Structure 1
Amino acid sequence: MHENFIINPKYSHLAEKLKEVLHDFSHKGEYVTKGERNVIKMVQLEGISFNIKKFKTPNAFQSLVYKFIRKSKAKRSFEYASKLIDFGINTPFPVAYLEVFSGGLQESFYISEHIDYDFDFRELIHNPRFKKRNEILRQFTKFTFKLHEKDVNFLDHSPGNTLIMDHGNNTYDFYLIDLNRMRFEPMDFNARMHNFRRLWLSKTMVKIMAQEYAELSGKSFEETHALMLKHSRAFQKKVNSKKLRRKK
């Protein structure tokens, strides 16, 4: 069995303490989420809060793929977060990752700084009367435009993966999480509009966001609106028909 532990130089003084926590993960920290696939816990060290994500143990075939062919989700999360920060895009600061190999990959963990956010994008969907909703949607569109301009194709651009901080006086910061599915590539206009599809936007939301994106990109509102709506509807239809099939 061997391990690969990589830590950001900013936190190298905590390397041993963090490793200790990871090696006793089931007994340390408090649960943030306890999903079927991944578990997230929060720990405090020297007055700083960290989130630790333990990825699902891969099956025998996947564990070899992660050893020889593909980077682990933990490594990708760490590398992509570092890249986003270099681009001036917010994401919880990447602290470290650990991979444990025995034959193939057995376990992997990703550590980031914990951020106290105010709400996530889901709340804007569920509550049409959310305070300053239109303004937040416009600023979120600006944020997504910045991603596209920096050639960031965030494949999991979905409601639970953007955390929002409200600074008061109409300023909001957006933080991307769950980063392991991302491509860095130039995106044409169709690909950009396709990138909005997972956000589960209502017609009103599409209207507001298409208007903002059209202004930023220099495209017409009509073209922007038609494409964004087309991709959103197609995705929602696909998900809903899958749910129906499962029920039957």
Structure 2
Amino acid sequence: MQITVHPQYKEKEVLIPQLIDVFFDSGDLIVQGARNTIKSNFLGTEKVNIKFFQKPGLFKSIVYSFFRSTKAKRSFDYANYLLKNGIATPFPVAYIEQKNSFGLLQDSYYICQQIDYDFTIRELIHDPLFPERNVILEQFAAFTYKMHEARVNFLDHSPGNTLIVKKGEGQFDFYLIDLNRMKFENLSIEARMDNFKKMWLSKTMVKVIAKKYAILSGESEVKLHQILLEKTKAFKGKITRKKYMKRKLKLMK
């Protein structure tokens, strides 16, 4: 077991192996997905989140062992990059990699601080009357603009991957999660608007975000609105077609 710990948690490193050993037997389940499992537990007296990444197949195990960083390491490294650039994310505690006798990756885990959040963008999508909806969307646009200015292309910028904490009347904090898929590059305006497409925005939400992003970037609001609306419609159409084809294939079986 190879453990890499953030310097601020070095004194708690001895507690991490035990936390991993009991991962499947204790703690509170947060997500049980097809690929990953996330649970919360206590590292000493502090509550943390532990993300277990699905065991890779032989090919991916070779790739992650010798040619590419594991998802756990990327999550840790990207979290540190975000925080260094003033973009909030749950604080990275450690990542763990377990390899077999041939040096091939078997299991990997990422540990970060627990964030007690209030909601995500998903709730705003499903509720047009959500309190302070436009204020939240404007601040989310500003948060994303700051991310883009830091050369972050978050490939999983989707409704459930930004946690939102209400700090007071009209004041919200945003935290990125599920970090292992990012690119670090200068982003054109087209690419910046494309990065919003997975948010599943309504026409009203598109209008609010385009207006705020235009103010921050100095770009034309009309231009941004047109690009963002086109990107959003194209993405929704693609997903709808995929779902339709899946239903057709099921009926044909």
Which category of TM-score, normalised to the shorter sequence, fits these structures?
over 0.9
Residue identity in the other structure for 1:227: I
SS in structure 2 opposite 1:160?
A: coil
Counterpart of 2:251? none
Distance in 2 of aligned mates of 1:24 and 1:89: 32
Structure 2 segments unaligned to the other structure (5+ residues): 249-253
Tell me what 1:40 maps to: 38
Q: Provide the rounded CA distance (Å) in 2 between the counterparts of 1:69 and 1:139.
A: 38
Give identity over the alignment, percent.
50
3-state SS in 1 of match to 2:130: coil
Q: Secondary structure at the match of 1:91?
A: coil
Q: After the TM superposition, which of the residue ranges 136-145 and 4-13 deviates more from structure 2? A: 4-13
- What is the aligned partner in structure 1 of residue 224 from structure 2? 224
Distance in structure 2 (CA, Å) of the matches to 1:46 and 1:71: 28
1:92 alignment partner, SS class: coil
Specify the alignment match of 2:192 in structure 1.
192
Question: Structure 1, unaligned stretches of length 5 or more?
Answer: none
Q: Which amino acid aligns with 1:25?
A: F
What does 1:44-59 correspond to in 2, within 5 Å? 44-59=42-57
Partner deviation per Cα, 1:121-150 (whole Å, 9 max, x = no partner): 100101110000000000000000001111
Counterparts of 2:49 and 2:68, CA distance in 1? 24
User: Which residue does the alignment assign to 2:18?
Assistant: 20
Matched, 1:133 2:96: no
Which consecutive aligned stretches of 4+ in structure 1 deviate over 2 angstroms post-superposition?
none
Shift of 1:29: 1.3
Q: Which residue of 2 aligns with 1:62?
A: 60
1:87 matched to 2:85? The reply is yes
Q: How far apart are 1:24 and its partner, in Å? A: 2.6
Give the superposition deviation at 1:47.
Answer: 2.2
CA contact (8 A) 2:19 2:43 kept: no
Report matched runs for 1:118-197 at 5 Å. Answer: 118-197=118-197
Which residue of structure 2 lines up, in the alignment, with residue 109 of structure 1? 109
* 1:8 is aligned to 2:6: yes
How far apart, CA to CA, are the structure 2 residues paired with 1:7 and 1:45?
A: 13
2:237 matches 1:211: no
TM (normalized to structure 2)? 0.96
Secondary structure of the 1:110 match is strand
CA RMSD of aligned residues (A): 0.8
Cα deviation, 1:116-175, whole Å, max 9, x if unaligned, reads 011011001011100000000000000000011111110100001000000112110000
Query: Corresponding residue for 1:235?
Result: 235
- Alignment-mate amino acid for residue 111 of structure 1: I
| Shift, 1:70, TM fit | 0.9
User: Amino acid of the residue matched to residue 38 of structure 1?
Assistant: N
The one-letter code matched in structure 2 to 1:182 is M
What amino acid is aligned across from residue 63 of structure 1 in structure 2? S
SS at match of 1:5: strand
Kindly state the Cα deviation for residue 33 of structure 1 after the two structures are TM-superposed. Answer: 1.2
